[in-house]
Amino acid sequence: MKKVLVLEDESSIRSFIVINLRRAGYEVIEAESGEEALEKLKTHGDTRVALLDVMLPGIDGFEVCRRIRATNSRIGIIMLTARSQEMDKVTGLMTGADDYVTKPFSPAELTARVDALMRRSGGGNDDNSAEISQPPFLLNTRNRTLEKDGQRIKLTQVEYAIVKMFMENPGKALSREEILDLVWGRDYFGELKIVDVNIRRLRLKIEDNATNPMYITTVWGYGYKWGA
Ligand code: CA
């Protein structure tokens, strides 16, 4: 079941998205307000990716994102932003979105983004070596969970994929391009900035002090390194 929710108040844009996602083989749930989207997600709990427009009458896309994330860390979330809303991209990612797409976008770009998140939220393909232990962290690849000092840390699917990539490459400097390829996939259209924003959010969750990170360290002018 590959179910996608599309929240967009402008009906012409919504139809454009819906037609293209259906053509790509997705089952699509439509909502024209944030309230309606939250309501529909309750009855469609198996929705794996949500596309959220930012500018909406009523509660905005960021608030919808926040409310979804309060109870659901597994669903993939993509924000739809206008070109003029450069800062909103960062805000959206910090409220828990996994990705953003800038309007106007091509059908190919949109479906590539949804495909990438869909692969991530699918799970189930990890091998049998179920645990990677690097104190204080314990990653369980069967349950897709991370513990720090025995305490569960709630991660989005993208954050989980980043942590797994780091724990499989301890001490190795990874360039931002490599991280984008490893986590988002080689056919991904996105910008390198998405790597930095996701890592900034991840640091807030896993570091003792996010302003002085000791697990995910910055390799200046290059990328990041896992130092646990
Ligand atoms: Ca709108």
pLDDT tens readout for residues 73-105: 889 999 998 866 666 666 767 788 888 888 888
* pTM for the predicted model, two decimal places: 0.63
Ion ligand 1 nearby residues (CB, 5 A): 9, 53, 55
CA gap 6, 51 in Å, rounded: 5
CA of 10 to the centre of ligand 1 (A): 6
pLDDT at 128 over 60: no
CA gap 224, 155 in Å, rounded: 19
B/e letters for 65-86, b = 16+ CB within 10 Å, e = fewer, are bbbbbeeeeebbbbbbbeeebe
CA of 80 to the centre of ligand 1 (A): 9
Q: What is the pLDDT at residue 125? A: 42
Least confident piece of the model among 12-26, 91-105, 147-161: 91-105
CA of 82 to the centre of ligand 1 (A): 9
Q: What is the pLDDT at residue 88? A: 65
Q: What is the pLDDT at residue 134? A: 87
Q: How many CB atoms lie within 10 A of CB 190?
A: 17
DSSP state of 22: H
pLDDT at 123 over 50: no
Least confident piece of the model among 26-30, 98-102, 129-133, 179-183: 129-133
CA of 2 to the centre of ligand 1 (A): 25
Q: Average pLDDT, stretch 159-170?
A: 93
Q: Six-digit token pair at 60? A: 């905005």
Q: Average pLDDT, stretch 2-21?
A: 95
Q: 55 with 10: CB under 8 angstroms?
A: no
Q: What is the pLDDT at residue 180? A: 92
pLDDT at 177 over 80: yes
pLDDT at 130 over 70: yes
Mean pLDDT estimate for the chain: 88
Q: What is the pLDDT at residue 124? A: 39
